[in-house]
Amino acid sequence: MRKLAVVSMAGALALGLSVIGPARAHAQSAALDFKIYCSRCHGENGKGDGPDAGTLKTKPRNFTDCAVMSKISDATMFKAIKDGGAAVNLPNDMPAWSAGLDDDQIHGLMAYIRKFCKK
């Protein structure tokens, strides 16, 4: 009986993902990635006020600052997330996430971060 419940749950999950579609699943994945990898420093709302922000030498980027964010290219943001701040001449407080995130996840995370800036 327990095995049947597990199979049913797996089937329900698969059905649920197919109903919500890949775009929504990606958005949910990006939100979870942000929570896991970014929010400790950048804050849940991307304002650079996460619980670990005060422990850093440099204040984390405020993703809601449209004037600043509009000047950051996607290529620069990608490299900063993948290879760390030092890779784009920023402080090394920003760690490299290449060991935890693949390129598709980083692109999803970038799209999620860009949404914090509401013009």
Is pLDDT above 80 for 4? no
Task: Kindly report the CATH number assigned to the domain that includes residue 69.
Answer: 1.10.760.10
> Number of folded domains in the chain?
1
Residue 69 inside a domain? The answer is yes
Q: Would residue 50 count as lying in a domain?
A: yes
Q: Which of 70, 69, 63 is nearest to 49 (CA)?
A: 63
For 86-119, write each residue's pLDDT tens digit: 999 998 999 999 999 999 999 999 999 999 998 6
87 falls within a domain: yes
CB 63 within 8 Å of CB 42: yes
Mean pLDDT of 17-37: 71
Which residue range forms the structural domain that includes residue 29? 21-114
Q: Would you state the pLDDT for residue 118?
A: 81
Is residue 57 assigned to a domain? yes
Alpha-carbon torsion (79, 38, 32, 64), positive or negative: negative
| Residue type (1 letter), 110 | M
Q: Are 68 and 82 in contact (CB under 8 A)?
A: no
59 found inside a domain: yes
According to the model, what pLDDT value does residue 33 have? 96
Confidence class for position 13, pLDDT limits 50, 70, 90: very low
